[in-house]
Chain A
Amino acid sequence: MEGHATAVDLRDVMIRFGEFTAIKSMDLTVGETEFVAVVGPTGCGKSTILNTVTGLLKPAAGDVRIFGKPLAGLNDQSGYMLQQEGLLPWKTAQDNVGLGLVFQGRSVEEARERARPWLAKVGLRGFEERYPHQLSGGQRKRVAMAQTLIMEPRIVLMDEPFSALDVHTRRLMHRILLDLWQADRRSLIFITHDLDEAITLADRVVVMSAGPASRMVGDVRITLPRPRDVSALQTTDEFVALYREIWSLLGAEVEKSYATQK
């Protein structure tokens, strides 16, 4: 099923901020067409992993390889969707989607031309001329998603992109994301604290331990067949079994994380 080539390869990666060790040791490989979700308790350094893959953070030890090559400087193969969307309030939806193209030096007209089909793909046809404040939270997320994906990154990084949305909107986002990914598979790393979300979307769920000095405590293959029906999936026996299996790893870490916060 998954691609043969490895897109992201972290080996023995350690991340430190001064004296503070965020991640003690992390091994993570993500295939060229693989969807990997990373779950873990709050403060376990999930976002740190994405920053490392982007090249914003240099690991204190270990190797970061992107498509087999050691990462130097910023990763030019990756697209990063942040937890809070950073749309420019003074640009319309289509201009926001085409922003990366304009930054590449394309003309505004060309960027718009290419942005419109992407808005349609995320279900926002007819919203081209709206400004961010005229869109709902879920619609802004979709604009942000199109903004990241229009650049056609070979590695897509998403940092809890849907955590601020209500349950129904989140389901809708899952469906849109899965449809897009199914149509054009990329390497995708999806950070979340929501186990339901992780199992629903991913090929593999990686479980992190409570921070600081976080490490990987589990790597579970999600065998649910694709394409998946987002709304019916959660009640299947297979889903519940996977949920139990992963929760047996994650639950203890969440407890630990609560204990240290007290």
Chain B
Amino acid sequence: MQRKSKIVLTQVEIVLALLLAWELGVRAGLIDSFFFPAPSALIARIKEWISTPDFWTDVGITLLETVLSFAVGIGIGTALGIWLGLSPFAADVVQPFIKMFNAIPRILLGPIFVIWFGLGLTSKVALGVTLVLFVAFFNTFQGVREVNPIVLANARLLRASKSALLRHVYLPSATTWILSSLRVSVGMAVMGAVVAEYLGSSAGLGHLIAQAEGVLDATGVFAGIVVLSVFVVALDAMVDRVERRLLVWRPSPAHES
């Protein structure tokens, strides 16, 4: 416990020192505030945003896009992972296609999705899904493939039907893999939403940043980045709780102090 508080204290010290140096640098004229606006200016901007309802609409839209791409991506990825994990023939057939799709830099799909689905929600969710899907797919696939063969043999000897095996053996096994990738997936979902907004939209945090950038407003861009970081950290904390709830059966890591 003492070690933990010491770590947190050091972290806070580092952040404060950096911010202070930055602030003082700007005030002393050593750092050009056009490129690196002072922390106080960022805070003032964020405060200003928070007091407007438009900002909260932007946050809400980005959140909705994130959640939708996350849910749809995990759903499709998991289903695909289970199917291919259980069917070696299908896996061998489909594998090169999946690798090919995964090799496409997803950001480039953004403009295409805008053409296909318009500037609204759908194009953002589509981009997020293509990002989340593969993370979920690869992890589920691995999880299904790497089910302990003894556990599997034992379940079969206890006369587990195919659906029972899926429910009691394959899915829980894959869940540990999916959960461990959840953090990456959440990050991907946010990235998909924000990048798609940035590329073309009329609302959302990505739109906010794009607008600030359009008028060379570095303060707006930085403030947007800060807001996004807080957004992701908050989602991350939620994932953490879900993970801990679902993985109670797992031995706790040995180095916990």
Question: What's the least CB distance linking A29 to chain B, in Å?
Answer: 23
Q: From A54, A88, A151, name the one whose CB has the most chain B CB atoms within 10 angstroms.
A: A88
A-facing mask of B91-133, CB < 8 A → 1, else 0?
Answer: 0000000000000000000000000000000000000000000
The reply to whether B153 and A133 contact each other, CB–CB distance below 8 Å, is no
Number of B residues, CB within 8 Å of A: 22
The reply to whether A86 and B152 contact each other, CB–CB distance below 8 Å, is yes
Question: What's the least CB distance linking A48 to chain B, in Å?
Answer: 15
* B160, closest chain A residue (CB): A103
The reply to whether B161 and A87 contact each other, CB–CB distance below 8 Å, is no
The reply to whether B153 and A88 contact each other, CB–CB distance below 8 Å, is no
Q: From B151, B158, B248, name the one whose CB has the most chain A CB atoms within 10 angstroms.
A: B158
Task: State whether the Cβ of A35 lies closer than 8 Å to any Cβ in chain B.
Answer: no
Provide the residues of chain A in CB contact with B176, threshold 8 Å.
90
Task: State whether the Cβ of B164 lies closer than 8 Å to any Cβ in chain A.
Answer: yes
Provide the residues of chain A in CB contact with B168, threshold 8 Å.
88, 91, 99, 102-103
The reply to whether A133 and B157 contact each other, CB–CB distance below 8 Å, is no
Q: In the docked arrangement, what's the CA distance between A84 and B152, Å? A: 12
Point out the residue from B153, B159, B169, B172 that lies within 8 Å of A104, measured CB to CB.
Answer: B159
The reply to whether B250 and A133 contact each other, CB–CB distance below 8 Å, is yes
Q: Given A103-B160, A103-B161, A104-B159, are A86 and B251 also a contact pair (CB < 8 Å)?
A: no
Q: Given A102-B164, A133-B249, are A90 and B152 also a contact pair (CB < 8 Å)?
A: no
Point out the residue from B157, B160, B164, B169 that lies within 8 Å of A54, measured CB to CB.
Answer: B157
Q: From B151, B154, B155, name the one whose CB has the most chain A CB atoms within 10 angstroms.
A: B154
The reply to whether A86 and B250 contact each other, CB–CB distance below 8 Å, is no
- A-B pairs with beta carbons under 8 A, tally: 62
The reply to whether B157 and A80 contact each other, CB–CB distance below 8 Å, is yes
Question: What's the least CB distance linking B147 to chain A, in Å?
Answer: 10
Q: In the docked arrangement, what's the CA distance between A147 and B169, Å? A: 16
Question: What's the least CB distance linking B221 to chain A, in Å?
Answer: 45
Point out the residue from B152, B158, B172 that lies within 8 Å of A103, measured CB to CB.
Answer: B158
Number of A residues, CB within 8 Å of B: 27
Q: Given A89-B249, A133-B250, are A82 and B150 also a contact pair (CB < 8 Å)?
A: yes
What DSSP secondary structure best describes chain A's contact surface?
loop
Task: State whether the Cβ of A100 lies closer than 8 Å to any Cβ in chain B.
Answer: yes
The reply to whether A88 and B250 contact each other, CB–CB distance below 8 Å, is no
B-facing mask of A79-112, CB < 8 A → 1, else 0?
Answer: 1101011111111100000011011100000000
Task: State whether the Cβ of A239 lies closer than 8 Å to any Cβ in chain B.
Answer: no
Task: State whether the Cβ of A181 lies closer than 8 Å to any Cβ in chain B.
Answer: no
A-facing mask of B158-197, CB < 8 A → 1, else 0?
Answer: 1111001000110010011000000000000000000000
A-facing mask of B213-257, CB < 8 A → 1, else 0?
Answer: 000000000000000000000000000000000001111000000
* B251, closest chain A residue (CB): A133
Q: In the docked arrangement, what's the CA distance between A88 and B172, Å? A: 9
26 CB < 8 A contacts A-B:
A54-B157, A79-B157, A82-B157, A85-B150, A86-B148, A86-B151, A86-B154, A86-B155, A87-B151, A87-B154, A88-B151, A88-B155, A88-B168, A88-B169, A88-B172, A89-B249, A89-B250, A90-B176, A92-B249, A102-B164, A102-B168, A103-B159, A103-B160, A103-B168, A133-B251, A144-B154
Given contacts A74-B159, A133-B249, 18 further A-B contacts (CB under 8 A): A76-B159, A85-B150, A86-B151, A86-B154, A86-B155, A87-B154, A88-B172, A89-B249, A90-B172, A91-B249, A99-B155, A99-B158, A102-B168, A103-B159, A103-B160, A131-B249, A132-B249, A133-B251
